[in-house]
Structure 1
Amino acid sequence: IQMILFRLNPKRPGDLKESFNTSSFHPDIKWPSSGFLEIHRSFFQRCKELSLRVLRVMALCLGLDPDVFLRA
């Protein structure tokens, strides 16, 4: 989701948010080149680990249990 593209309130400027989306690793997907599947898996895993770390840091900064957002 691109920043400012979507808005909850149509009378206000676009929302300041971005997201990282990817699909499951379906066996019938045709990858652009050999080795790209593993590159994609590695990138996805690193993004996932980083996003969980960011959630933990946000919780700590708010004085909450570090895993509070991970249980939601």
Structure 2
Amino acid sequence: MKPGGFAILPVPVTVQRTIEYPEPNPYEEYHVRAPGLDYSDRYLEYFSRLKTWSSDDFSKKYQLYAGEKLVEYTPVCFV
């Protein structure tokens, strides 16, 4: 990436701390981990700064999904 660039790296956060599965989990589409809030810390190995946005940071009028409202997180990484 160019200096001054940024990357938006959405990851579905499901738990507080990342859970590493010993093998692909068939109940979670064969994922090998369930990312937690700590998952975006891994990005700091490669990027100089990290800002995590939450769905709570935005007005409810922009959250149009029906059903149960979960808080979602999207890390934005800066070079």
Instruction: Give the alignment's TM-score, normalised by structure 1.
Output: 0.24
- Which structure: larger Rg? 1
The structure whose residues are more often helix, as a share, is: 1
Higher relative contact order (CA closer than 8 Å, sequence separation 6+): 2
Instruction: Give the alignment's TM-score, normalised by structure 2.
Output: 0.23
The structure whose residues are more often strand, as a share, is: 2
